[in-house]
Amino acid sequence: MEVNWPKNIEPLLRQYSKRKHPLDYENRYQLVVMVILSAQDSDKHINEIAKDFFKVYPTMSHLAKASVEDIQGIISSVRNFGNKSNWLSKLAKTVGEDSKIPNTMQELTKLSGIGRKSANVIIRESGFEAEGIIVDLHVLRVAPRLGVAEGTNPEKIEKQLMSVFPKPIWNEVGMAISFLGREICRPSKPKCNECVMNAVCNYYNSQNS
């Protein structure tokens, strides 16, 4: 089935466009820290532990003065907290101040603990022009189900999505597909009948052909 994806993604964008990321941050410093902490963990859990974290380290300059051991003491319930403590310590010492947090893909991905997915989230949530498309675990599952991309490699899926969708909607496409995965296109029991994309979805049409 030939699908005009830029046209057929419009109902999904109308449903989820401009919705804030589920991480409950208040500024770019908090966003960066929480994005790093949320890797392989749940946004809900990070929202819970973030309150205590930011009481102790309210700014990047406060975090830069912390030891790795001190950071570990606060985030010990977070998955992979050992590496994340090291990443946050290095990042804070590199950046120094909230106002010096970079806003480009090239500069963000130079920082400890930030890959393309994290950088795309930070750029999108900061309101800057997209340089890529968010591919989190939900997009990794949903995009191949829809048929708009194939494979299991995040960077390859991102490149496929970037080739399909026009740049002005890159910031919203990835997040919209992610929200679809969080709420409708669940791993084991997708709610296909509630999905605005079912008319063009490979998975749905293969189940109902």
Write down all domains in the chain, each with its CATH number in brackets. 5-18+132-207 (1.10.1670.10), 28-126 (1.10.340.30)
The pLDDT value recorded for residue 89 is 98
Dihedral of CA 101/105/107/113: which sign? positive
Question: Cα-flanking dihedrals φ and ψ of residue 97, to 5°?
Answer: -135, 155
pLDDT tens per residue across all 209 residues of the chain? 789 999 999 999 999 988 999 999 999 999 999 999 999 999 999 999 999 999 999 999 999 999 999 999 999 999 999 999 999 999 999 999 999 999 999 999 999 999 999 999 999 999 999 999 999 999 999 999 999 999 999 999 999 999 999 999 999 999 999 999 999 999 999 999 999 999 999 999 998 76
99: number of CA atoms within 13 Å, CB side? Answer: 0
Contacts of 26 (CB under 8 A, 6+ apart): none
**pLDDT at position 178, please?**
97
Q: pLDDT value at position 181?
A: 97
What pLDDT, on a 0 to 100 scale, did the predictor assign at position 18?
82
What the block records as the tokens of 112 is 């400890």
User: CA 134 to CA 181: how far, in whole Å?
Assistant: 13
Q: So what's the pLDDT on residue 187?
A: 95
Task: Give the amino acid at 73.
Answer: G
157 and 140 in contact (C-beta within 8 Å)? yes
Helix ranges (H only) for the chain are: 5-8, 10-16, 28-38, 43-56, 60-64, 68-75, 81-95, 105-108, 116-126, 137-146, 154-164, 170-183, 202-207
